[in-house]
Amino acid sequence: MMPRNREFWQVEGLREEHIPQIAAMERACFTDPWSESALGDELNSPLARYFVCTQEGQVLGYIGTRVVLDECQVANVAVSPACRREGVASFLMEAMLDFCRREGMNLVTLEVRVSNSAAQALYEKFGFQKTGIRPGYYQSPPEDALLMSLDPA
């Protein structure tokens, strides 16, 4: 992988050519990854909004969301293992929250594994608050989800 430099990063919407890289990232990051087919379905979903961080055509990370009326639900956040701890997730969070503000969203919600303290710290850095627990939300391995939310205004 090429050296990464934030000044060359771009955030763009999900395109068909991103799907193989995102599917590979899903397999590297999650025990229950989305398939290429499921990701392809997102291209046609009127509710899906994806924020893909790229550098020279390489996908460094992405955030997938669902938008319904004035609410945005974060479905997945992933960063390539080779790009972790370089600010990619923060870069993507900034882009997603800018979108939410521009579009007049009143609420952004997400679920995160109760054991995933690194992700929780990222979300808290952006002002997300812990709002509850969703018991047994994750299947592989079984784990509760921490619910977090933010008013992006």
Q: pLDDT by residue (tens digit) across 92-125?
A: 999 999 999 999 999 999 999 999 999 999 999 9
In a domain, residue 64? The reply is: yes
Any idea what the CATH number is for the domain that residue 31 is in? 3.40.630.30
Cis peptide before 141 (omega within 30 of 0): yes
Give SS3 for 18. helix
What pLDDT score was predicted for residue 141?
86
The boundaries of the domain holding residue 43 are 6-150
Q: Does 1 reside within a domain?
A: no
For the stretch 41-68, pLDDT in tens is 998 899 999 999 999 889 999 999 999 9
Looking at the predicted structure, is the pLDDT value of residue 72 above 60? yes
Judge whether 125 lies within some domain: yes
104 assigned to some structural domain:
yes
Q: Could you tell me the CA-to-CA distances from 25 to 20, 50, 109 in Å, in that order? A: 9, 14, 23
Is 111 catalytic? The answer is yes
Of 111, 124, 137, 143, which is the active-site residue? 111
For this structure, is 94 an active site residue?
Answer: no
C-beta separation of 34 from 50 below 8 A: no
Share of the chain above pLDDT 70, in %: 97
| Domain contains 30 | yes
Cβ-contact 22, 39 below 8 angstroms: yes
Specify whether the CB–CB gap between 9 and 54 falls below 8 A: yes
Counting the structural domains of the chain, the total is 1
Beta strand extents in the chain (DSSP E only): 10-12, 48-55, 58-68, 71-79, 107-113, 129-139, 142-150
Catalytic: which of 7, 123, 124, 138? Answer: 123
pTM exceeding 0.85:
yes
pLDDT band (50, 70, 90) for residue 7: confident
